[in-house]
Amino acid sequence: MKLLVAALSVSFVMLWSGMAQAEKVFAVKYASRADIKVFAVKYASRAKCHVYKVKYASRANNNGKWFFVKYASRADKKIFFTKYASRADKKIFFVKYASRANCRL
């Protein structure tokens, strides 16, 4: 019985930690060091990924609310901002309101 309870609690913690993954990002200087290359567009209609920058890491989530960290080791994803849209993996648009955020990396 104790073994069953322990196994259930471990599986619950693993499931919860997978759902609570935050999008902490770090902007790298070189494309070769990035997990994903992004291009920031001027108009919302040109991007499928709408991003809102949050002020606190605890408010970040994997649905478009990003927190930019100071160190690459603390980031979930490393991104590189390209100068040209054709070189990007994703086109993003920074929104003014958190309720408009919608993006998955």
Residue pLDDT, tens place only, 41-90: 999 999 999 999 999 999 999 899 999 999 999 999 999 999 999 999 99
The pLDDT assigned to 104 comes to: 78
Q: Which of 91, 87, 99, 104 is nearest to 45 (CA)?
A: 91
Domain ranges of the chain: 22-100
Q: Which amino acid is at 33?
A: R
Structure tokens that stand for 3 in this block: 């073994």
Query: Residue range 18-38: average pLDDT?
Result: 86
Per DSSP bridges, beta strands 23-27 and 36-40 are unpaired
Distance separating alpha carbons of residues 57 and 12, to the nearest angstrom: 23
CB distance 73 to 33 below 8 Å: no
Length of the chain: 105
Q: Which amino acid is at 81?
A: F
